């Protein structure tokens, strides 16, 4: 039953994140595409009620995610978040009263089918280990280091596909790290109650990592086309979460010939994400403005 509840809460978290995506990126469409990397982007968005509604959905998603991770493996819960974009398409279609095209349904089917194939083949097991201090230090150094490198590459590129992909990859690592920290923080809640939760460094670390990932995601959206940033975000979060689940929590996945269907599943997800990012309805929902506004400082 624990697995059923974990999967159910993970799906609810994906739905909440999809709602947040529709609202936040809808608000971000009114902000001109920028070549800069400024905190002013979030300040502008804070004045938009639609974006604040998206933030409420983000908080709901965080609660569902925490509930999913209480008894669920990181390598099961986080990959389910690849369903966020298909849910965003369906929710956006209902909100805007737009019909989902045949290509849209094919993309949704590829992502859902690929996820199912990959998870069944991998059969991730719940870890028996808790992260050690040394393990956390190594994980934080690796994740933050790669994020910083991706941001550095992005800042050297003009607005476009490469810049958006680098910011998207950095955001994906940030979200995976956030999830790993949330799982450890939920253990602190289980063992020490509210006091243990608020005294645990992981609680403040996941809040900081989540804000950082959100900031990077908004810059990815503002930097270039969705088809560049979304595949990096979709697969990056799942794959980095899998790596953190195995290395930090001792979770296990099947290898050997099982790698063949696992690879097929990953490729289907990638194909679906690229196809979904190209359809008109997705672009209406989440695409940034077409060109930078050079009249603003």
CA angle 213, 2, 199 (to 5 degrees): 50
Q: Which of 32-41, 52-61, 79-88, 275-284 has the highest mean pLDDT?
A: 79-88
Percent of the chain residues past pLDDT 90, beyond the cut: 44
**For position 292, what pLDDT does the model report?**
43
**For position 221, what pLDDT does the model report?**
76
pLDDT band at 103; cut points 50, 70, 90: confident
For the residues of 24-74, what is the DSSP string, one character each? Answer: HHHHHTTSPB-SS--THHHHHHHT-HHHHHHHHHHHHHHHHHHHHHHSS-H
pTM: 0.82
The tokens of 184 are what? 């450890």
pLDDT digits (tens, 9 = 90+) for 119-163: 999 999 887 778 888 999 999 999 999 999 999 999 998 888 889
């Amino acid at each position: 039953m624990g697995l059923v509840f974990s999967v159910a809460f993970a799906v609810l978290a994906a739905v909440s994140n999809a709602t947040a995506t529709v609202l936040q990126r809808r608000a971000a469409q009114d902000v001109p595409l920028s070549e800069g990397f400024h905190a002013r982007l979030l300040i502008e968005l804070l004045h938009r009620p639609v974006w604040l509604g998206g933030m409420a959905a983000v908080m709901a998603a965080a609660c569902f995610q925490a509930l999913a991770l209480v008894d669920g493996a990181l390598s099961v819960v986080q990959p389910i978040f690849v369903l966020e974009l298909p849910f965003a398409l369906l929710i956006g279609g209902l909100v805007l009263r737009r019909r989902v095209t045949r290509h849209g349904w094919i993309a949704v089917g590829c992502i859902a089918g690929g996820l199912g194939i990959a998870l069944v083949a991998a059969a991730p097991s719940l870890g028996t280990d808790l992260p050690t201090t040394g393990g956390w230090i190594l994980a934080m150094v690796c994740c933050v280091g790669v994020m910083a490198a991706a941001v550095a590459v992005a800042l050297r590129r003009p607005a476009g596909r490469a810049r958006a992909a680098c910011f998207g990859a950095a955001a994906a690592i940030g979200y995976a790290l956030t999830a790993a920290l949330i799982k450890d923080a939920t253990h602190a809640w289980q063992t020490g109650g509210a006091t243990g939760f608020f005294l645990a460094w992981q609680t403040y670390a996941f809040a900081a990592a989540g804000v950082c990932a959100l900031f990077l995601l908004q810059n990815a959206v503002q930097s270039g086309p969705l088809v560049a940033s979304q595949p990096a975000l979709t697969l990056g979060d799942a794959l980095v979460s899998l790596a953190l689940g195995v290395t930090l929590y001792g979770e296990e996945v099947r290898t050997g010939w099982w790698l063949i269907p696992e690879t097929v599943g990953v490729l289907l997800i990638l194909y679906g994400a690229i196809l979904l990012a190209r359809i008109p309805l997705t672009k209406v929902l989440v695409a940034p403005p077409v060109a930078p506004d050079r009249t603003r400082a």
